[in-house]
Amino acid sequence: MNAVGIDISKDKSMMAALQPMGYVVLKPKEYLHTGTGLEHLALDILALGEDTRVLMEATGRYHEPVAAVLRKYGVWVSVINPLFIKQSGGGSIRKVKTDKADAMKIAKYALDNWVDLREYIPMENTREQLKLCSRQYNLYMKNVTALQNNLISLTDKAFPGVNELFSSPDRADGSQKWIDFIMTFWHCECISLVSETAFTERYRKWCKRRGYHFSALKSAELYAGSTRHIATPPKNNSTKFLITTAAKELAFAKATLAAMRTEMTRLAQQLPEYETVRAMYGVGEKTAPQLIAEIGDVRRFPRRSSIVGFAGVDPAVDDSGKHISKSNPTTKRGSPHLRKTLYQIVCTYLRKAPANEPVYQFLDKKRAEGKHYFVYMTAAQNKFLRIYYARVKECLNTTDSLYTP
Tell me the pLDDT tens digit for each residue of 60-94.
788 888 999 999 999 999 998 888 888 877 666 67
Inter-residue contact 225 to 190 (CB < 8 Å): no
pTM of the model: 0.82
* CA distance linking residue 362 with residue 54, whole number of Å: 44
Inter-residue contact 69 to 13 (CB < 8 Å): no
In the CATH scheme, what architecture does the domain 2-112 have? 2-Layer Sandwich (3.30)
Tell me the pLDDT tens digit for each residue of 166-219.
988 889 899 999 999 999 999 999 999 999 999 999 999 999 999 999 999 999
Write down the pLDDT at residue 317: 73
Instruction: Burial-class residue 88 by CB neighbours within 10 Å (0-12, 13-18, 19+).
Output: middle
Judge if 2-112 and 127-261 fold alike in CATH terms: no
In SS3 terms, 56-70 reads as EECCCCCHHHHHHHH
- Taking 50 as the pLDDT cut, the residues of the chain under it are 402-405
Q: Which class in CATH covers the domain with range 127-261?
A: mainly alpha
Phi, psi of 122 (to 5 degrees): -65, 150
The ranges assigned to domains in the chain are 2-112, 127-261, 274-403
Write down the pLDDT at residue 93: 66
Amino acid of residue 319: D
